[in-house]
Each structure stands twice: as structure tokens, then as C-alpha cells.
Amino acid sequence: MNLFGFALGNLYRRPARSSLTIAAISLGVASIVALTSIAWGFEASWQRANDARGTDLIVTRLASENAMPSPFLADKLQATLKGYPHVQEVVGLLSEMLSVGDNAPPVFVFGWEYRSYLWQHLRLIDGHLPANDTDADIVLGSLAAELLHKKVGDSVEIEGRQFLIRGIFDSPAVVENGAVVMTLTLAQQITDKPGKVNILNIKLDDHASDSVIDDFKTRVRETLPGYLAITSGELVRKNAVVRISKAMSNATTLIASLVGALVVFNTMLMSINERTREIGLLLALGWQRQTIVKLIVSESVVLSLAGGLAGILIGIAIAGGLEHVELMRGKIEAVFSMPFLIAILGLSVVLGVAGGLYPALKAARMLPSQALRQE
Amino acid sequence: MRFIASAVLALLATLAGQSYGADGSDLPSPAALAETMMLARYSAGFEARMRISSVGPDGKQSTPFKVAVVGQIDSQRERLAISGISPPSIRDHSYAAERTADGRIRVIEYGARLPADLLEIEPTTRVFDSALVVWDMLAPWWHWPKQISGGVDHVDGRDCQNIRSVTNAGTPPIPEVVSCVDAKTRLPWRTQLFDRQHILLRTISTRRTMRMESGAVAVRRLTIADADRTVTDVDVYSGDEHYAISAATFAALDYAHPAAGQAAP
Amino acid sequence: MVRIENVALHFDDGKTTALNGISATVEEGEFVAIVGPSGCGKSSLLNVIGTLERPTTGEVYFRCQPYSNIADASLFRRQHFGFIFQSFHLIPTLSALDNVVVATIGCPGPAREHTQRARQLLAQLGLRDRIDHFPRTMSGGERQRVAIARALINNPDLILADEPTGSLDSVSTEQVLGVISEIRQQRGISIVVVTHDPEVSGRADRVVSMRDGKIEPGKEYRQ
């Protein structure tokens, strides 16, 4: 038996309390893991959607901090931007969250300019892309098709109009997999926004360097008041949902950490109060005070580490489960990274040390003769 | 996208309202506040798409429907067009409304074929059998000369200032309206409409708000409770703060009243 | 070995006096019994000798080293003293073996060696078959022998025993006293024991009698 074995034994001999403490910590850690992975996943998914489209820059309204920027008339702006150096294509995109059919949860409906480069990254699983700009044809992301129980040849009702499903596609971005895509003209018709887009996607030629991108942004800022040119990554980071979900995950981390540390603190304080005589004995046997501190902190770290490990597993399960809930499918995607999970374990250790330190110091300060007299 | 749904709100005058720039300690007079509420609705063109669902007095839920509301409101004219989006039974079924020079609210109901399917109806007609009433959407009470302060109140835990708007001019369908207006956002948290016997006809309550791109706060969701116990939920899911009004938008009003249409600037 | 010079010990800000100007010595290899009525300060004197209690005034020397110069009392205790208590103070959730090994945690050297030594000690004390037993399944005599093994595990120079037979029946008392005598003969360890039991004090080289925090003059005798 060594110090660690003794610490484990001390936890083992109070199974109910140890399990409850581990459960409390694991729930906190699980909520951190689930929320953070979803927040990151959300960002990564939007980022991938933009990257996959091959978009180098996005031009949008200045005050756009909503999920999607507000619509604006594209014509003149599009012509102006086409004249910028290294610009290959300027493509309008209109996006709305709309219900498709009765009693179905709302999905993203994207309108992309017909025959633009945006369509190229879709991998068709079945059927075809829309054959022309104005026929009431749409394509569905694979997840959307599954959610809506639709296949090629079926029709769906969007904003009071019937559309024929011409194709089903797979996209690298979960946002698109859960979406309906139609031509921009159709999207403008059904939402009664003729000539309007939310964003303009800019594709630059292969010679465009970072400085070209910077010049482009500066030029838009200086010559097109009310508009903003940003990279897709910047747009995603400005996205209100991404920001809110990140803020929520940060707040959860803070609260769960505080609660976790308090739970450990309470458990260890109770534990040393019950073991006063035992600690007195150990001191009388010649245990040094730092050994007592090591013992109590080891116990609290074991508790928080066990809670952390269990919490990571539960958090992964919760996030995975949420991805498959009808309402959430195709809208969220959890992203886990090894450094993040290791950081969570690190956080668990910090919680253990933070929660166990005061009780440990209190135990180490006991006077052995008094502690031994305690009943 | 739903977030942009601007004007709805301007639309249900109950709703729209730009920040007055004053805090609660510096409340304007009822008349000034009424004028602010009126001015706040001004728009060269807006569109709001809303999902409307009602539960009848018998507790039965009627089929939800979607409408698009387009409006143009300034010192010269106040016009609204309400078009059914879905289900198919209300598609191509529309209402157009305007405030006439004498302060009356005129409502036209029309179908796809103009000018054939056209009918002038009562301004207090309900929109597709919900508790949403066209007359309320134009909020004519802010034009009434008599605006009386009703003191401070609380609605759903939010502070607001009661304003009683009363008129005797002509024979308006509703002669008395009490609004509880938020002193900061100038949004009405609650609007109560009374008949001549001071019997409550319906209450419009703001449930959720949103900030629009322009910075103004608008109503995102509201509930209308009718005296007959029909309760209607209105949820704005999309919109456009800068809708381009076309010649066709208010054509129904012009067909029904060619002279008025030509006279409009 | 131990020299106590004019030691006083007060509690409660001086309101209670446990020791009142004690001077005494313990020689190398000597077995000293401290006797006296309850509350006379016997246990306090033992605690002062064992560095569990710091005297209010006076000084104690261990092999000429004054206690006031000891930097780490815990380490000092571990190096020189072994404690035996009336109520054994065994940890109920540890086996007999682990109750002995626990005293070596933090000591230099591999844990395996400590465990091996603990096994040998328990075997020497007649507990070979009880090594894996828990305190609640052992008799009082067996428990006290485990406590003695724990006191011996770090090779102390002085055993400090506080009523070691106070909770034992006569048979167990005889066993425990036999063990103590044996250790003394084998290892030449000094022993200071606080006791009411004439059986115990009867085996001591010297008996010191205390009353009201003082050593009773003229009542100290050698046997």
C-alpha cells in the first residue's frame, strides 16, 4: 500500500458519497463537453459550407449579426464587384429558414444563382440538379430528404407553392445536408424578394494572394458604404448563433467548474471532519503535513478525474444523441478534438486541486494530540 | 432570415416603434407619445411573413395559415396588402386596406382575377377567420385627437405607460382603445379594444420582440385574445425592412376606387 | 536519553494546568512507568516527550538535542518514537498488515520492503495468521499487538505507551506485556508507559508517581 492506494481506499470505503460526488462532477463536465462540442461544430459546419463552396470572400450588409444577413438588392453591387481585380465570379445567395410542408420543423432554404460555381461542390446521390432557372424544381440535402421522408420525383410545398424534387445531394457541410436548395430566382419569387440576396459570394482567380483579399476588403469598406467584405471565417465568427452558442458554452464551463469545485470542496471537508482522529493518528505516526495534504488532494483529484472521465463519455453521448433528435438533425454537428478532451481532463484535475486544497490544508494544520482526543 | 421580418410590426401599430430616446423619468405627453407611435410606423415599404394559428372557444385548433403583409405608411397614405401564402385554400386570396382622407378605414377583399373578384368589406373583418382584424393592423387610434394618460402599469412583468385613445367622430367600429406602451422601446406590450358600451372586444399582447437591422425593436410574436375566447397566435418568421412596392401591390385599392388611386401622389 | 527540565503545560490560555514544573530523565534502554490518578498529567507528559504537545515553558532534550530546535516534529517522531494507545487507534477499513504499513507511507525506501518488514513484525508478534484480518474481527489483545507492530515498524528508540492494557482482559494483558518485555530484551528499546495497572508498573525498571501535574517527591522508586 502506498499513498495513492491509501487515498483510493479512503474513497472506496465511502461508496455512496464518492459516487454522488463523481456523478455531480460528471454531469457538469458532460454539459461542458456537449455544449462546447456543439458550439464548435456549429462554427466548423458553417465554415465548411463556405469553404466547400469555394468562396474566397463574402460581401454583406454591415449590421448583419443575425443568423443570416439581411437581404439587399444585388444588381448594381454585383456589377461593381465584378470589376474588382482578380474577381472570377460574384454569385448571389438568398437564405431563409422556412417550414417545408405541414407540421415539419423549419429547414434552411438556400437560393443559389443558377449555373454558378456554388452548385459544383454538391455530390448528387440521386436525380439531377435543376434544369433551368425558373422551373419549380429543387434539390434536397440527404439529411433533409431523410427528415422530410422525400425522394426524387416527390413534391414538397414551400411558402404555398409546390416544388418537384429533382435531386438529392451530399455536401461536406451538415448545414447544407439538412437544407433545401433551389435557384436564386425561385427563392426570390417565393419569398417575394425580387432581385435581393443575403450575401454575395466572391470567387477570386488562382493568382489572388492574401494581399488581394485585404485590398478587396479595404476597397469595399471605403467605396461601398453600408457593406462589408469579409472572409467566410469572419462571417461565421460574427454569426449570432455561433457567438451565442460559444457564450453559452463558456458560461456553462464557468458555472459547472464552480459547482464542481464546490462539490469536491464540500465532500472533502466532510470527509476530513469525519476522519479527524485518523488524521491525528497519522500525524502522531510521523506523517509529515505535506503528506496529509498530498493524501487529501489525491483523493479530491481522483474524484474529479473520475467525474471528468465519466462526464466526457456522457457529454459525447449527449451531443451524439442530440445530433439524431428530429428537430436538430442536419442543424448541429458535434466536434470533438483530442486537445479539447485533454483540456477537460486538465480542468477536472484543477477542480480537484481547487476543491481539495483548503480541506487538505485544514487537515494538515490539525494538532495531533487534540485530533486524537476527538470522539 | 426570420429575424429581418421588419415591419410587421410597424404594421400592427401595436407593434412597431422606434426608440424615442427618452428614459422612463422623462415621459412624453400622451398626445406626443401617440404621435411617436404613429411616426414609428412610417415606412416606404415593408413586408412581413407570419404564421397564424388560432384556438377557438371550443378549444379546437383551426388549420394554421401563413400570410404576407406588405405595407406603405407615410404622412400621405397608409396602405396594407395581406396575401394568403398557404394552405392552398387561401392562396390568391387577399385583403387590401387604406386609411382614407376622412380617417375611415377601407378594406377590399379580392382574388386572383382583378378587377372581377373584388369586394369592399367591413373594416372589422377577421383575417381568414382568425382573431386578427384588418382595422387593428392600421392602428387608426394613434390619429385620434383625444389621448389620455392612464398611468404606469405592468404587463407580464414589464413596465409600460397606459394611453387611452377615444374618438366620437363619425361612427368608428371601435371608439376606445387602451394601449400600454413601453416607455423605452415604444412598443405596446398590450392593446385593449372596447366597444361603445366599454365592453372589451379583444386584447393584443406582445409576446416576443426582435431587433431589426435598422436598430428598431419590433414584435416577433403576439397573441390576440378575442371576447368570444378565440385565441390567435401570430409568429413573424420572415420579412424585409426595405420592400420594393410595385404598381401591382395596391392595385386592388385603385380598381375599387379609381379616382382615389389616381389622386394619390 | 530524554531529559525533561522544569516543563509546564497550560491549556485554555493558562486556565488549565496539565504539567506544573516537571523535571525528569529516561535513560537509554530503561523501562519507566508513570502512575497516578486520572487527570494528574500522565498522558500530557507522554505527549510532551513524544512531541505531540509543545510545553508552555521549560525544555525537553532527546539525546542532548533540545525540542525547541527541532525543525520538523513529524520527521523527528517518525525517526525516534513509537506510540501505543489505550484504544489501539487502528484504522477500521485497513487490514492488520496495512495498519502497520500505513506508518511507513512517506518514508524513504521501496513500499515492498516496508510491507515485508510489516509481515515479519506481525509474525514475530504471533499474528502470522491474522495479517489480512480487519480490526473488527480481532480480539483486543490481537489489535494491541497490531498497534505494537505499527509502533515498531520504523525502528524507534523509545516506545511511548498510554495505558496499553487499559482496554484488555487479563489474558490479553499478559500477552501484550510479554510482547513488550520481549521487544525490550531483543532490541534494547526504551519504554515509557502510562498506566494504572500494577501488572504493568510491576515490570518497569522505575516507577514515577504523579499528582496535580507534578512528580510526587519521594514516591519514585526503582525495582
pLDDT beyond 80 at A14: yes
Mention every residue, 6+ apart, whose C-beta is less than 8 A from residue B93: B83, B84, B109, B111, B128
B106 CB neighbour count, 10 Å cutoff:
19
C94 to chain A, any CB pair closer than 8 A? The answer is yes
Query: Which of A38-42, A100-104, A260-264, B174-178 is least confident?
Result: A100-104
Q: What is the pLDDT of residue B12?
A: 29
Residue predicted with more confidence, A242 or A184 = A184
Residues of A in contact with C150 (CB under 8 A): 285
Residue A102 to residue A157: CA distance in whole angstroms: 8
**Which of B70, B85, B244 is closest, CB to CB, to A159?**
B85
* pLDDT tens string C84-134: 988 889 998 899 999 999 999 988 888 899 999 999 999 988 899 999 999
Q: What is the pLDDT of residue B3?
A: 26
A285 to chain C, any CB pair closer than 8 A? The answer is yes
* pLDDT tens string C13-25: 888 888 999 999 9
Rounded to a whole number, what is the distance in Å from the CA of A3 to chain C's nearest CA? 6
A223 to chain C, any CB pair closer than 8 A? The answer is no
The C-alpha torsion from A240 through A246 and A248 to A252, rounded to 10°, is: 180
* pLDDT tens string A35-77: 888 888 878 877 776 677 788 898 988 764 443 457 899 999 9
Residue B233 to residue B79: CA distance in whole angstroms: 23
Distance of CA A332 to the CA centre of its chain: 8
Are the beta carbons of A160 and B85 separated by less than 8 Å?
A: yes
* Assembly ipTM: 0.91
Q: What is the pLDDT of residue A330?
A: 62
- pLDDT range class, residue B68, cuts 50, 70, 90: very high
* pLDDT tens string A298-326: 999 999 999 999 999 999 999 888 888 76
Give the pLDDT mean for A7-18. 89
Residues of B in contact with A159 (CB under 8 A): 49, 66, 85-86
> Percent of chain A, pLDDT > 70?
95
3-state secondary structure chain A: CCHHHHHHHHHHCCHHHHHHHHHHHHHHHHHHHHHHHHHHHHHHHHHHHHHHHCCCEEEEECCCCCCCCCCEECHHHHHHHHCCCCEEEEEEEEEEEECECCCCCCEEEEEECCCCHHHHHCEEEEECCCCCCCCCEEEEEHHHHHHHCCCCCCEEEECCEEEEEEEEEECCCHHHHCCEEEEHHHHHHHCCCCCEECEEEEEECCCCCHHHHHHHHHHHHHHCCCEEEECHHHHHHHCHHHHHHHHHHHHHHHHHHHHHHHHHHHHHHHHHHHCHHHHHHHHHCCCCHHHHHHHHHHHHHHHHHHHHHHHHHHHHHHHHHHHCCCCCCCCCCCCCCHHHHHHHHHHHHHHHHHHHHHHHHHHHCCCHHHHHHCC
* pLDDT tens string C153-208: 999 999 999 999 888 888 888 888 888 888 888 888 999 999 998 888 998 999 99
Q: What is the pLDDT of residue A154?
A: 94
Q: What is the pLDDT of residue B23?
A: 36
- pLDDT range class, residue B92, cuts 50, 70, 90: confident
Specify the CATH architecture of the domain C2-222: 3-Layer(aba) Sandwich (3.40)
Q: Domains in chain B, start-ordered, CATH in brackets? A: 2-256 (2.50.20.10)
Domain boundaries, chain A: 3-45+242-373, 57-230
How wide is the angle at C-alpha A327 spanned by C-alphas A326 and A332, nearest 5°? 100
pLDDT beyond 50 at B9: no
Rounded alpha-carbon distances, angstroms, from residue B12 to B6, B54, B185, B220: 11, 18, 15, 11
How high is the mean pLDDT of chain B?
A: 81
Q: Are strands B78-86 and B94-99 parallel, antiparallel or unpaired?
A: antiparallel
